[in-house]
A and B are shown apart, each in its own frame.
Chain A
Amino acid sequence: MSSGADIYHEMIVDYSRNPVNFGEIEDHDVTFHDANPLCGDSIDIDMKIDDQKVSDIKFHGKGCAICMACTSVLTEIAKGKSLDEIKNIDKSDVLSELGLEHLQAVRIKCALLSLKVLKGALYTYLGSHLENTDAIDKLKAEAENLY
């Protein structure tokens, strides 16, 4: 269990001050939005998809330091990855990058909102490009129950 202010280490504070891939992609191929009703974190992710790969990704919105840092890291992980690889990104990939594996339950939503949004964006994109909508709906439901 992370205790004390140690979750607010240098990297988190830096990322929250200077988020990476922050902004909008005007000619995005897909965009997705979600928010945490309890704390007010609100994130949009825009993606550009070329040859079944994420050629560009940006995010905008408001959130606490944990949310902003995790979203930055997630966009760095996702950039250049194939859609299959995006599908397989796991929560531990994001949390371990920032040493947040033992985050308290109340803060896990802050850390994982962006992953939920990324998966939402992916399945929205796949849903509009693939025939098998049942499978997409199942994936969407999985993403919605991420935390």
Chain B
Amino acid sequence: MQSTESSFENLRKDFPILTRTVRDNKPLVYLDNASTTQKPNQVIDAITDYYQNHNANIHRAVYALAEESTEAYENARDKIANFVNIKNRQELIFVRGTTEAINLVAYAWGRPHINEGDIIVTTEYEHHSNIVPWQLLTQEKHAKLEYIGMDDNGELILDDLDKYLATGKVKLVTFSLMSNVLGTITDAKKIIEKCKAAGVPTLVDGAQAVPHMKVDLDTLGCDFFAFSGHKMLAPTGVGILWVRKSVLQTMSPFHGGGDMIREVHKYETTWNDLPYKFEAGTPNIADVIGFGAAIDYLTKIGMDNVRQHEIELTKYAMEKFSKIPGLQVYGTKDISKRGGVISFNFADVHPHDVADIIDKEGISLRSGHHCAQVLMERLNVAATSRASFYIYNTKDDIDALIDSLNKVAKVFKL
């Protein structure tokens, strides 16, 4: 597919929700993609087709339907592995989403590996899902949680990491590949290099990065990687945890139950092969298949084209924003270092009021702390407004946002 504006404009017909109107018959302008994305017909149809034609539990029965559903489920695993270049499909575990993936690591890897006095390092711009599981673990183990700080440009201060690594007590470094608030793209290569040199494993939260740019887990070099389907056209309730096999083999199970066992006796059980040891119970079969359809859709567009499209939109929006008096954008102005996420504040107007007023113009914009209160404290704000783009957004959407911000200025007499 050509990376031209018109071909992206053409994608919009695949997303039925984009044709609806909201409030007083205003066309929907959806700019909350960092939270969740809309779904194309191809994904919706795949789920419908599964329930209408193939529904049966997987990995259990020998009849035709069960064979079809198992094949479709495992096909999706291969598609996703291929998409982020995972060489060994045994390392790819289906979970509910990034939050569950990180909690799985904190529980099944963290509990046996973290001891009193150990240090886990995270960053100031993490989502709560990459902070709270580590708070729970370090409190339980009397270990310590430390933060890599952020500079005024919205970039991590890697000297902080050096300082913690020098203590020799760091057992895990965990960070997001792209900030969900500032859009900052983390210099993962450098962090992983430093950690590898110190013999420290790394966890990367890819929830914001994988939907928007090419990610190659074979070369990235981390040990744990998590992302969610629903932020990349797939249904809610399905996500991925990838763990390097040598690490995965040292982990105890997360949930006990069906499908994760080899043999169960009254007082002992042996575990199933990887990755099934970590997939207890009937999984979210239909949505995993939907995730596979989303991967097909994105593969057809090409992730380099997705990234290029979002760079265009971000550049356009940043230029327009810079012309609005009183509008402050957070994070770096260097487009090459940020994804299609723009957080801002508009004069003294509370983001909640901004979102409410522009909602009446049909614009879905997020306001609040974006599950990143540690970052809000660092920025010294209670909340921000956030616009985040995806493949179906256009410059017209940004123009509509700018127009609606003029309404905010009018109401608040800015």
Contact = CB atoms under 8 A, between A and B. Distances in A.
Interface of A: 3-5, 7-8, 13, 16-17, 38-42, 62-67, 107, 110
Contacts of A3: 23-24, 360
B367 A39 contact: yes
Nearest to B358: A5
B357 interface: yes
B214 interface: no
B212 to A, nearest CB: 26
B201 interface: no
Contacts of B349: 65
27 contacts: A3-B23, A3-B24, A5-B407, A5-B411, A8-B353, A8-B411, A13-B411, A13-B412, A13-B413, A16-B350, A16-B353, A17-B348, A39-B352, A39-B368, A40-B352, A40-B368, A40-B369, A40-B376, A40-B382, A41-B382, A62-B350, A64-B352, A65-B350, A66-B352, A66-B353, A107-B356, A110-B352
A131 B320 CA distance: 63
A83 B368 CA distance: 35
Given A40-B369, A42-B382, 11 more contacts: A3-B24, A5-B411, A7-B356, A8-B353, A40-B352, A40-B376, A40-B382, A41-B382, A63-B350, A63-B382, A67-B350
A64 B360 contact: no
A19 B412 CA distance: 15
Interface residues of B, number: 21
A13 B409 CA distance: 12
Interface string B366-407: 011100000010000011000000000000000000000001
Contacts of A66: 352-353
B23 to A, nearest CB: 7
A64 B412 contact: no
Contacts of A5: 357, 360, 407, 411
Contacts of B348: 17
Minimum-distance CB pairs A-B, first 5: A64-B350, A64-B352, A40-B382, A40-B383, A62-B382
Nearest to A62: B382
A17 B291 CA distance: 47
B414 to A, nearest CB: 11
Nearest to A8: B411
Interface in B1-40: 23-24
A64 B369 CA distance: 13
Nearest to B356: A107
B360 A4 contact: yes
Contacts of A13: 411-413
B347 to A, nearest CB: 11
Q: Which of A13, A16, A38, A39 gathers the greatest number of chain B CB atoms within 10 Å?
A: A39
A43 B318 CA distance: 33
A110 B383 CA distance: 14
Contacts of B413: 13
Contacts of B382: 40-42, 62-63
A39 B383 contact: yes
B350 A8 contact: no
A3 B362 CA distance: 12
A42 B369 CA distance: 13
A41 B349 CA distance: 13
A8 B23 CA distance: 17
A64 B412 CA distance: 12
A7 B367 CA distance: 18
A31 to B, nearest CB: 20
Q: Which of A5, A17, A42, A67 gathers the greatest number of chain B CB atoms within 10 Å?
A: A5
